[in-house]
Structure 1
Amino acid sequence: MYKKVERQAMYVWVYSMKWKKKLQHFGTIHYVSPKMKYILIYVNSSRAAEVKKELISKNYVKRVTMAHRKELDEHYVLKSDADKRDNLEE
């Protein structure tokens, strides 16, 4: 049976895009921006801190940041019609 694995997104800024292939070793490459020279990779959440530490030590990496998507609240509440009318009257 399929087991869901929690993943963490990381933005890796590099000096040159020729290092893109090297980053495949650390996780799944999701997006590449040649103009801004960053690569979005997904890694297992359990290894995220370890991978970040290892990436920072590489000489071809400028900066590594974690994506903040997990911190965002994805549950939205729609206002009822009465609330909308009250806001219009004010």
Structure 2
Amino acid sequence: MYKKVERQAMYVWVYSMKWKKKLQHFGTVRYVSPKMKYIMLYVNSNRVAEVKKELVSKNYVKRVTMAHRKELDEHYVLKDNAERKDKLEE
């Protein structure tokens, strides 16, 4: 059966876009921005530290930043209808 693997998004800023093929060896390339010269890469959570360390050591990488999506609270609460009616009446 399929087992869900936790993944972390990384933004890899490069000097030239010709290196995007090389980055496929580190994880799954999800998005490429040729204008801003960064590549969004998904990596398994248990390998994040070692992949980041290896990418920073490459001469074609400017910097590596982590996505903050895991830190965000994804549980939203809708306002009560009564509160919305009070605001509309004012």
Give the TM-score taking structure 1 as reference length: 0.94
CA distance in 1, matches of 2:63, 2:83: 45
How many aligned positions are there?
Answer: 90
Q: Does 1:28 align with 2:28?
A: yes
Q: Please state how far the C-alpha of 1:86 moved relative to its aligned partner.
A: 3.7
**Residues 78-89 of structure 1 mapped to structure 2, 5 A cutoff:** 78-88=78-88
Aligned to 1:39: 39
CA distance in 2, matches of 1:39, 1:25: 13
Q: Identity of aligned pairs, percent?
A: 86
CA distance in 1, matches of 2:69, 2:46: 16
CA distance in 1, matches of 2:55, 2:86: 52
What SS is found at the alignment partner of 1:78?
coil
Q: Which segments of structure 1 move beyond 6 Å, counting only runs of 4 or more?
A: none
Q: Please state how far the C-alpha of 1:85 moved relative to its aligned partner.
A: 3.0
The alignment yields a C-alpha RMSD, in angstroms, of 1.2
Q: Does 1:13 align with 2:13?
A: yes
Q: Can you give the 5+ residue segments of structure 2 that lack an aligned partner in the other structure?
A: none
CA distance in 2, matches of 1:27, 1:83: 47
CA distance in 1, matches of 2:89, 2:56: 54
What SS is found at the alignment partner of 1:8?
strand
Letter in structure 2 aligned against 1:11: Y
What SS is found at the alignment partner of 1:77?
coil
Letter in structure 1 aligned against 2:40: L
